[in-house]
């Protein structure tokens, strides 16, 4: 399929679509299957590229993967896990953030692992220093190579006490996937507590792990000698759900997001309401709609859970171009997540980015050279343009902008969006969008 879409915008998106399992959970649960003695079964798995990447990596390590795409079921059998050939793994360099999470499970099973350089969205430097510090504290030896890292465990990994300088999602998952089979107790202070992490803890507990989570971001794990396979149904993708909600608002539409759930989206729903968006939580999902009157400008800071998630920011900014007055958005999780606003400016949006922390609280990126605050002045009608998709969420935001804009936009690099949005062109068609993807 072509990587270019021609979008004939200017009409509201209306109708119902379904979201399935969360990109940021399913890929981790797939890695967790490596820890089990027997097969695991994961349900509500979306057909996105990140799932394919992790499936390939698991297969390269000897995991047998059977899938039923329609039903969204993956069966993962790690009985014959073996070291993969470095050259094969190397081919996955730059593909996603997930390979670094193979460290703990592979060290427990094989005593060594080669991890290719990571990919994922280029929205900041995204170092892996917390991950490596954690692994070293468990007793692993890390050797940096040209295209990745080689990591070994000269003896069984030992439980340890760690405090994270920032509640990193990936580093918390690294710790969980390593501590569950390490010898003795592990305590993590300053842990991330995103819903996807809580669902990973559900999976690990089903496998036989002993994990407790305190309300003060402290997680304690008692290592065990053996874990079994699991059967689990993924929580829904709250980022995809919020993306469609923002699309409804930006295009003046009405989208029923089947599968979306309220508990993981509290912070988003509060903000959506403050902007003036309407929503209705029902048994099968959440319906999001434009209220038919003016939208309100807001002041917003992204944050770790339970705050307003950074991955919700880019789609919502498009909707804020249609709100009356000045909105301020302070991005505190990534230092470089406003690059996508260049294209929006080219489409008629009035958005200025600043180095200062404008949201109210100083963050790690203040007084440095990072344009991590944005002021959006609206409402401004959007006009069609030629756009190049920069990353996953920025790309979806550009699509929303093209759908809201009158005229025909050419959106290139659309394949990047497949990494995290299942069948998005079918869903757009179901919502009445007018486009060609040749």
Ligand X SMILES: CC(=O)N[C@H]1[C@@H](OP(=O)(O)OP(=O)(O)OC[C@H]2O[C@@H](n3ccc(=O)[nH]c3=O)[C@H](O)[C@@H]2O)O[C@H](CO)[C@@H](O)[C@@H]1O
Ligand Y SMILES: C=C(OP(=O)(O)O)C(=O)O
Out of 15, 62, 111, 120, name the contact with ligand Y by CB under 6 A.
120
Q: How far is the CB of 27 from ligand Y (least distance, A)?
A: 8
Does 86 show up as a binding residue in the annotation?
Answer: no
Does 28 show up as a binding residue in the annotation?
Answer: no
Q: Which does 392 bind (CB under 5 to 8 A by kind): ligand Y, ligand X, none?
A: ligand Y
Partners of 232 in the β-ladder: 42
Partners of 73 in the β-ladder: 68
Q: Which does 171 bind (CB under 5 to 8 A by kind): ligand Y, ligand X, none?
A: ligand X
DSSP state of 306: T
Measured from the CB atom, the residue of 125 and 438 that comes closer to ligand X is: 125
Interstrand relation of 231-233 and 40-43 (parallel, antiparallel or unpaired): parallel
Could you write out the DSSP letters of every residue in 40-93?
EEEES----HHHHHHHHHHHHTT-EEEEETTTTEEEEE-TT--PPPHHHHHTTT
By Cβ distance, which residue is nearest to ligand X? 170
Out of 33, 44, 96, 160, name the contact with ligand Y by CB under 6 A.
96
Out of 173, 256, 311, 422, name the contact with ligand Y by CB under 6 A.
311
Distance CA 140, CA 161 (A): 15
Q: Which does 31 bind (CB under 5 to 8 A by kind): ligand X, ligand Y, none?
A: none
Q: How far is the CB of 160 from ligand X (least distance, A)?
A: 16
Q: How far is the CB of 278 from ligand X (least distance, A)?
A: 27
Could you write out the DSSP letters of every residue in 138-171?
TT-EEEEETTEEEEE-SS--B--EEE-SS--HHH
Active-site residue (options: 103, 121, 357, 363): 121
Question: Is 121 one of the catalytic residues?
Answer: yes
Site for ligand Y in 225-284 (CB under 6 A): 239
Residues contacting 383, CB < 8 A, separation 6+: 347, 348, 405, 406, 407
Out of 420, 421, 428, 435, name the contact with ligand Y by CB under 6 A.
420
Torsion of CA 244, 250, 254, 259, to 10 degrees: 10
Torsion of CA 402, 408, 409, 415, to 10 degrees: 90
Does 97 show up as a binding residue in the annotation?
Answer: yes
Return the active site residues.
121
User: Residue positions in the annotated binding site for phosphoenolpyruvate?
Assistant: 23-24
Which residue ranges make up the annotated binding site for UDP-N-acetyl-alpha-D-glucosamine?
97, 311, 333
Where do contacts with ligand Y occur on this chain (CB under 6 A)? 96-97, 120-121, 239, 311, 392-393, 420
């Amino acid at each position: 399929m072509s990587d270019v879409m021609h979008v004939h915008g200017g009409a509201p998106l209306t109708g119902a679509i379904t979201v399935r399992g969360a990109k940021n959970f399913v890929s981790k649960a797939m890695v967790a299957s490596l820890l089990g003695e027997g097969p695991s079964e994961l349900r509500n798995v979306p057909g996105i590229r990140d799932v394919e990447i992790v499936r390939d990596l698991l297969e390269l390590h000897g995991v047998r993967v059977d899938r039923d795409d329609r039903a969204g079921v993956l069966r993962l059998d790690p009985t014959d896990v073996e070291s993969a050939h470095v050259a094969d793994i190397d081919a996955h360099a730059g593909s996603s953030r997930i390979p670094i999470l193979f460290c703990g499970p592979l060290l427990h099973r094989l005593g060594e692992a080669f991890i290719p350089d990571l990919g994922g969205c280029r929205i900041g430097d995204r170092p892996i220093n917390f991950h490596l510090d954690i692994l070293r504290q468990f007793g692993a030896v890390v050797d940096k190579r040209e295209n990745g890292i080689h990591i070994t465990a000269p003896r069984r990994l030992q439980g340890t006490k760690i405090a994270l300088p920032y509640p990193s999602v990936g580093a918390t998952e690294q710790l969980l996937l390593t501590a569950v089979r390490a010898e003795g107790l592990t305590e993590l202070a300053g842990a991330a507590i995103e819903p996807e992490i809580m669902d990973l803890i559900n999976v690990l507990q089903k496998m036989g792990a002993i994990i407790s989570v305190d309300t003060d971001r402290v997680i304690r794990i008692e290592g065990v000698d053996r874990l079994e396979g699991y059967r689990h149904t993924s929580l829904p993708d709250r980022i995809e759900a919020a993306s469609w909600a923002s699309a409804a608002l930006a295009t003046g539409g009405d989208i029923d997001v089947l599968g979306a759930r309220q508990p993981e989206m509290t912070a988003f729903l509060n903000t959506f309401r403050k902007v003036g968006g309407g929503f209705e939580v029902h048994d099968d999902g959440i319906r999001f709609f434009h209220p038919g009157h003016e939208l309100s400008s807001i002041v917003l800071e992204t944050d770790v859970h339970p705050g307003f998630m950074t991955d919700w920011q880019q789609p919502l900014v498009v909707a804020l171009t249609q709100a009356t007055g000045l909105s301020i958005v302070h991005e505190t999780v990534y230092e470089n997540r406003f690059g996508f606003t260049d294209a929006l400016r080219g489409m008629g949006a009035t958005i200025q980015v600043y180095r200062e922390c404008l949201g109210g609280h100083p963050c790690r990126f203040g007084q440095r050279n990072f344009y991590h605050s944005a002021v959006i002045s609206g409402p401004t009608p959007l006009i069609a343009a030629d756009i190049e998709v920069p990353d996953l969420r920025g790309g979806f935001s550009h699509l929303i902008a093209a759908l809201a804009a009158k005229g025909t936009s050419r959106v290139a690099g659309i394949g990047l969006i497949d990494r995290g949005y299942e069948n998005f062109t079918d869903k757009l068609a179901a919502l009445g969008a007018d486009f060609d993807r040749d």
